[in-house]
């Protein structure tokens, strides 16, 4: 038995009713999606920067003692380098 497809006016009305009925849920889902994307991008930026700093520290280590110091610091050396770099940048700006 063939079915009759709804006319375009009915589809437009149904779409409007659907939007009015679920607009809060749709808006909430979009906000959550945007926050998740921003959070993921922030995490990727943080890990990229941390890994880049760690690679720089390992690249600058020349002796076995330097390698041991970088590895045993557990990332704290990278954080100290970032702080020193930001302090140096701030000092350059003040001049």
Handedness of CA 80, 83, 89, 91 (dihedral sign): negative
SS3 percent helix, strand, coil of the chain, rounded to 5, is 85, 0, 15
Residue 3, in any domain of the structure: no
How many domains, the chain?
Answer: 1
Residue 4, in any domain of the structure: no
Residue 2, in any domain of the structure: no
Residue 1, in any domain of the structure: no
Separation between Cα atoms, residue 44 and residue 37, nearest integer Å: 11
pLDDT for res 81: 59
Expressed as residue numbers, the domain containing 88 is 10-94
Cβ atoms 54, 69 nearer than 8 A: no
pTM, entire model: 0.58
pLDDT for res 48: 96
Residue 48, in any domain of the structure: yes
pLDDT for res 57: 87
**Alpha helices for the chain (secondary structure H):** 8-60, 64-73, 76-94
Separation between Cα atoms, residue 76 and residue 54, nearest integer Å: 10
Structure tokens at 53: 């700093």
All residue ranges of the chain with pLDDT < 70 are 1-2, 4-8, 75-95
Structure tokens at 24: 């809060």
């Amino acid at each position: 038995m063939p079915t009759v497809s709804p006319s375009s006016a009915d589809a437009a009305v149904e779409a409007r009713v659907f939007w009015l009925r679920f607009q809060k849920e749709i808006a909430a889902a979009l906000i959550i999606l945007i926050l998740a994307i921003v959070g993921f991008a922030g995490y990727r930026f943080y890990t990229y920067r941390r890994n880049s700093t760690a690679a720089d520290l390992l690249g600058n280590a020349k002796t076995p003692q330097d390698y041991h110091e970088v590895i045993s610091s557990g990332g704290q050396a990278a954080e100290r380098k970032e702080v020193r770099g930001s302090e140096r940048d701030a000092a350059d700006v003040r001049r």
